[in-house]
Structure 1
Amino acid sequence: MRMRQSGGPRLEETPRASPTPPRLLVSSAALLWGLQFAFLNPALALLLVALYDATPADVGWVLAVYNAGGFVAALLVPAYADRMNNYLRPLLVCAGLTLVLAGVLAGTTSLPVAVVGLIALGGPAGVGVSLLFAHLKHSGAPRADVMKTRAVVSVAWVAGPPLATLIMGTLGNRAILLALAAVAVLNIATTAAMIRRKPQTVSDPTGPSTPDDDGPPLSRAGLAAVVLAFIALQATNSAAVSVMGLFVTGRLGLDVLWAGIALGVSAALEIPALLVIGRLSARFSSRALITSGCLAGIAYYAAMAFVADPVGLIALQILNAWFFAIVAGVGLTLFQQIIPRPGLASGLYMNTRRVGAIVSGPIIALGSMTALGYQGVFAACAALAVVALAAIALTRTAKAAVPDPEAVHSVPA
């Protein structure tokens, strides 16, 4: 659209963002990128031991440097895509790097070579999901479509680990690398199809934007508060998942199978929850939905500190599913609203999960040292979720200064 400066000449029209790719193409890409992570990440420790004779200590430091590389890549690669105003071509490169990584891991028996491959290739390759969501935001996809796409990624995470286990159990450990290569080839094909479908003429993501449904942009302090709040929320989820097996066997006296059932029920319920949230996003602001998710999380963790039977354990997973669906789906769209660069927004959000996983360690250690034992971990998670909710609520008063509309040169169409 065109706007005039006060008393000035008419300015050039801002390029329109290119249309969102067909729904089936986007869903296919989301499923494939989700499968890439679901195939490699859960099986990586096993591969290090089985293929490269890694010791437990080796597994620890390799996973640490691999995740550190992924953290850095999740910031640098999307930021580069922001500067290029193009997310599909970097996405294509990420798919190619995945294919090369599978070849390197399959073709070597040396642990150092595998580690170099994981850092140099695996870190950038793992940014694919961030770039896909950045492209959706950049091309003007509504929040409901982003939620649906996130639900497809969740489907991949539900189906991926069991499928990877089946492949490795029937065809051998290296077979999962062949499956990873096949997924990479399909990722290349779907990304190339999206590139061929339209030219990459897009609006400048760094330029002025219209206020979203949650009000003016946040100040730096407000943005920092949101990031820290989501790190806390991600940490509670990571801690609860990590301690579930010990809680079920030690506190409830049940077979460890019940931990798997509980986590499986929660993961399965997360998918319809994301679809429902996508519909609700047209009526409610991101902060309102996040508030509902935080309240569900607080209720879940508080109730888990007192649950005493398998029926209660399974029933409470409804709250857990809603909580994490809000964190995973609405959290992503909130970051895209408050950070003007789509790539940086998606990459920074994805990194809150990585940092949250690190923070979950002290939560488990400190919570389990209380008189409540493993119940104390859930109590600590409830308290941390309360703090996160308060931090997000306070950001309503941490708005950045909004420029005078008369001084704005142009806005995206």
Structure 2
Amino acid sequence: MDNPNVRAKRLLIPSAALLWGFQFAFLNPALALLLVALFNATPAEVGWVLAVYNASGFVASLLVPAYADRKNDYLRPMLACGVLTLALSALLAVSTSLPLAVVGLIVLGGPAGVGSSLLFAHLRHSGAGATDVVNTRAIVSFAWVAGPPLATFIMGALGNRAILLALGAVAVLNVGTTAAMISRRRAASVEDRPNAHAEEDGHPFSKFGVAAVVFAFVALQATNSAAVSIMGLFVTQGLGVDVIWAGIALGVSAALEIPALFLIGRLALRYSGRALIASGCVAGIAYYAGMAFVSNPATLIALQVLNAWFFGIVAGVGLTLFQRLIPRPGLASGLYTNTRRVGAIVSGPIIALGSTTALGYQGIFAACAALTVLALLVIVLAGRPSRRMPPKERPAAPAPTHDAIA
């Protein structure tokens, strides 16, 4: 029979993942609408407010996890993130001043958004395997699928400010689950430690190798961001069909990503991380290449199977890869999170350059395919062990782990 602490952990971790996923799914898609509806922000003001808010999140994703690494404690900073989320929702609910709202988003919102990264850092620190991390990421993806429609329903039925009340309720639940995890941390740590040997970091990477992998994942995230951003225009102007097909395509891809992540978690027990990442990149190349020549909605929807596998690999295995390459769990999770933020910035030039080709919007997908090929080559080359490593630095005759990078 399972130890009560183990059973509690099995409930607390998925609950925390779902709640942190809902926090982002409630706030981020609705933020621009809230700025206009509650603070009368102009389109230009919305643009720079989102820019400084995301910049705050970028900095916080590096500083807060680094602090947690130094303290060797990820749960207390995660608890603080929940409290900051509650404070932010209260501030936005009572404020009528745009400058005050901006200060709140920078000071409270940026650090509050680090909670999800800290959860994955805690998983790694407590000895969780790649399968656990990927399965937990699947729960976050489910929240992202269900969250935006639920937020839209709440705002439509109860008014715009009601989403802030919902966000505050999620924050209270986040604080509660994190407090429960803290209270059980010592017992849970004892239970988890025997399994910690199942995950080895493999051979150490040089700083150049780690930087190369970061570059590759920025490229992969950029292709996904670019493809999502122009889907509506591609469907209406490229294919000449109703914009609803863009929503269907994105919805199908997001829905398929969840079972894909659970399948990836099982496959991680049998195949190496490099092999899974290679499969994801190949699927991404095939998806983007297919999108460059797609001519009807049926093919568009069918191709989303490849897209779901591609991004499931990037989101799930990519996170575990960073956690193995970088010995500090907080920094690893925070750095991985920021590859998506930087990728969103890089997607702008991809869209601008790709759309100027003779293929038009299809040219953007062709550019994404080429960039995915480059990212795959970089990851494969960066994953090779250093020949100059002294033998004494290698582990003493370990059995190969299921998800070793090399």
User: TM-score w.r.t. structure 1 length?
Assistant: 0.90
Of residues 341, 345, 354, the one that matches 1:367 is 354
Output the CA distance in 2 between the equivalents of 1:398 and 1:347. Answer: 25
Partner residue in 1 for 2:112: 125
Partner residue in 2 for 1:323: 310
Aligned residues: 388
Partner residue in 2 for 1:46: 33
Counterpart residue identity of residue 255, structure 1? D
Indicate conservation of the 8 Å contact 1:233/1:327, yes or no: yes
* Secondary structure at 1:240 match in 2: helix
CA RMSD, 1 decimal: 2.2
Indicate conservation of the 8 Å contact 1:35/1:157, yes or no: yes
Of residues 274, 281, 288, the one that matches 1:294 is 281
Partner residue in 2 for 1:88: 75
Structure having the higher helix fraction is 2
1:14-413 equivalence runs, <5 A: 22-199=9-186, 215-397=202-384, 399=386, 402=389, 405=392
Output the CA distance in 2 between the equivalents of 1:239 and 1:41. Answer: 18
- Give 1:301 deviation, angstroms: 0.1
Q: Summarize deviations over 1:299-326 as a string: whole Å, max 9, x none.
A: 0000000011111000000000000000
* Secondary structure at 1:173 match in 2: coil
Counterpart residue identity of residue 177, structure 2? T
Output the CA distance in 2 between the equivalents of 1:201 and 1:400. Answer: 39
Partner residue in 1 for 2:193: none
**Structure-2 change in CA distance of 1:170 and 1:341 (3 Å):** same
Output the CA distance in 1 between the equivalents of 2:138 and 2:100. Answer: 35
**Structure-2 change in CA distance of 1:44 and 1:200 (3 Å):** farther
- Give 1:397 deviation, angstroms: 3.3
Output the CA distance in 1 between the equivalents of 2:20 and 2:393. Answer: 43
- Give 1:399 deviation, angstroms: 3.5
Output the CA distance in 2 between the equivalents of 1:117 and 1:403. Answer: 51
- Give 1:23 deviation, angstroms: 1.5
- Give 1:214 deviation, angstroms: 7.3
Indicate conservation of the 8 Å contact 2:129/2:199, yes or no: no
Output the CA distance in 1 between the equivalents of 2:299 and 2:144. Answer: 25
Output the CA distance in 2 between the equivalents of 1:182 and 1:276. Answer: 32
- Give 1:251 deviation, angstroms: 1.2
Indicate conservation of the 8 Å contact 1:88/1:131, yes or no: yes
Output the CA distance in 1 between the equivalents of 2:297 and 2:61. Answer: 39
- Give 1:36 deviation, angstroms: 0.1
Output the CA distance in 1 between the equivalents of 2:15 and 2:198. Answer: 31
Higher RCO structure (Cα 8 Å, ≥6 apart) = 1
Indicate conservation of the 8 Å contact 2:260/2:312, yes or no: yes
Counterpart residue identity of residue 121, structure 2? A
Indicate conservation of the 8 Å contact 1:20/1:136, yes or no: no
**Structure-2 change in CA distance of 1:210 and 1:193 (3 Å):** closer
Q: Which runs of 5+ in 1 are unaligned?
A: 1-17, 204-208
- Give 1:22 deviation, angstroms: 1.5
Task: Name segments (4+ residues, structure 1) moved above 4 Å.
Answer: 18-21, 200-203, 209-214, 400-408
Output the CA distance in 1 between the equivalents of 2:393 and 2:352. Answer: 55
Indicate conservation of the 8 Å contact 1:221/1:398, yes or no: no
Output the CA distance in 1 between the equivalents of 2:357 and 2:215. Answer: 25
Counterpart residue identity of residue 9, structure 2? P
Output the CA distance in 2 between the equivalents of 1:224 and 1:55. Answer: 39
* Secondary structure at 2:186 match in 1: coil
- Give 1:198 deviation, angstroms: 2.6
User: TM-score w.r.t. structure 2 length?
Assistant: 0.92
Output the CA distance in 1 between the equivalents of 2:7 and 2:207. Answer: 30
The alignment-based identity, stated in percent, is: 73
Output the CA distance in 2 between the equivalents of 1:400 and 1:137. Answer: 28
Counterpart residue identity of residue 244, structure 2? L
- Give 1:24 deviation, angstroms: 1.5
- Give 1:107 deviation, angstroms: 1.0
